[in-house]
Amino acid sequence: MLLEAINPATGETIRTYPETTPAEVQARLHAANQAFSEWRRTDFADRADVMHQAARILRDRNNEFAALMALEMGKPIAEGRAEVEKCAWVCDYYGENAAAFLQPETIPTDASHSFVTYQPLGTVLAVMPWNFPFWQLFRFAAPALMAGNVGLLKHASNVPGCALVIEDIFRQAGFPDGVFSTLLVGSPRVPELIDDPLIKAVTLTGSVLAGQAVAARAGAVIKKTVLELGGSDPYVILEDADLESAVHTCVTSRLINSGQSCIAAKRFVVVDALRSQFEELFVAQMQTRKMGDPLEEDTVVGPQARHDLRDELHQQVQASLDQGARCLLGGQIPDGPGAYYPPTVLTDVKKGLPAYDEELFGPVAAIIPVPDEDEAIRVANDSNFGLGAAVFTANIEKGTRIAAHELEAGCCFVNAFVKSDPRLPFGGVKESGYGRELSHHGIREFVNIKTVYVA
């Protein structure tokens, strides 16, 4: 079987790749297991040296990697460069901090010496998505490898070139053979990988359905999982918000990665007092964002990653309009080649519509008008998802209270758009998943938190 990389801007096949055979999969699993027996015993300084080298390679080849993402999944090239730089940052961050994060912790008890130590688990299977084909992987790999684990990547089938070049980055950086490797396999082969006794844990970023399948399979064989799933992030716009600043932030967030981000703003919960002004400014700013060739520097919205995903998004928009939403901008598939979908604004969105209940994974904004602050918070939380959320208000004390105590999400921001940061834990609640990536919390997800008691 072949994996096919297709340029979503043109529909043309870039290259085909042979799928990793079952025999090759087993060879890589055993190589990873063998590499772990040595890698786990290396000291943090040696691990940091090669991790910093990976960061240098990322920076040196930034333009090359950004262009590869643009070709394989349509990411605007300026965003691709920023993604590669962020990957270098996370490599440097864990290279500098992993030793401190995993330092043994003495706990006074009635023992002569009792402490907690953090020991790696072994081979971690990473099932990764196409939307941030470098970042999603490096935010897993940097902490996991620095903790002494080894990684096995099953990347999305439409970004095989990215999957292979990431393996090459680690190899060129000096990581020993088997510490990180890529399997070019389709999703139907994931269950057998999870079942394999050489796999000790699984991390997945993807859809709710994929998360359910991986969690069920891993649970059946008692293996640790971390899941980062979908999101339908609400941005709450209160009456005292700085409207121009809020709209700029909301539009920027909605169009990140051409709208294909789990933590992009998706539902805009606006109090009635600001509704008409918000809609006018929002539409005006969405109109100014250029849609076009992802290799052009000024493109903000590239194609959707695949034609089937674009068509599914359009069906959600049409179903929402059929059920009472109004379209203020966009909403039509453009003529010509490529999986393009224009910046689109829906309003009068209500519960029961796809734009309210489902994740719209593309450049479509859903405006939900509400009478007041209390209803805004209720509507924001009225979702099966809980990845990110934001609130906009001039009252910082109130905004902080709402973010900290009222909004049901793993990442809540005040007067800013939701983003991941190596220094802060990242993850969701409800159907957005469980576990955390990044910060000191993330590096401890795939370790044995071991108690040692000396009488």
pLDDT band at residue 306 using 50, 70 and 90 as cut-offs: very high
Alpha-carbon span 225 to 241, nearest angstrom: 39
Domain ranges within the chain, ordered by starting residue: 2-229+429-454, 233-414
> CATH classification of 2-229+429-454 is 2.60.40.1930, yes or no?
no
For the chain, what is the mean pLDDT? 98
Residue 1: its pLDDT value, please? 80
Contacts 24+ apart (CB under 8 A), 275-281: 275/367, 275/369, 277/243, 278/237, 278/243, 278/246, 278/247, 278/367, 279/328, 279/345, 279/347, 279/367, 281/243, 281/244, 281/247
3-state secondary structure at position 438:
coil
Marked catalytic residue, from 72, 83, 167, 228: 228
Marked catalytic residue, from 162, 250, 262, 411: 262
Q: 394, 392, 362: which is closest to 235 by C-alpha? A: 392
Is 270's pLDDT higher than 90?
yes
Residue 327 a catalytic site member: no
3-state secondary structure at position 220:
helix
Mean pLDDT of 129-154: 98
Residues in Cβ contact with 393 at an 8 Å cutoff, skipping those fewer than 6 apart: 238, 240, 241, 399, 402, 414, 415
* pLDDT, tens digit (0-9, with 9 covering 90-100), for 428-438: 999 999 999 99
To the nearest 10 degrees (0 to 180), the angle between helices 77-101 and 44-60 is 170
Residue 359 a catalytic site member: no
Mean pLDDT of 162-174: 98
Cα 130 to the center of its chain, rounded Å: 9
* pLDDT, tens digit (0-9, with 9 covering 90-100), for 13-51: 999 999 999 999 999 999 999 999 999 999 999 999 999
Q: Is 225 exposed, middle or buried (0-12, 13-18, 19+ CB in 10 A)?
A: buried
* pLDDT, tens digit (0-9, with 9 covering 90-100), for 403-448: 999 999 999 999 999 999 999 999 999 999 999 999 999 999 999 9
Same fold, 2-229+429-454 and 233-414: no
Residue 69: its pLDDT value, please? 98
Domain range 233-414, its CATH number among 2.30.30.100, 3.40.50.300, 3.40.309.10, 1.10.10.10? 3.40.309.10
pTM of the predicted model, to two decimals? 0.97
* pLDDT, tens digit (0-9, with 9 covering 90-100), for 186-208: 999 999 999 999 999 999 999 99
Q: 3-class secondary structure for 337-397? A: CCCCCCCEEEECCCCCCHHHHCCCCCCEEEEEEECCHHHHHHHHHCCCCCCEEEEECCCHH
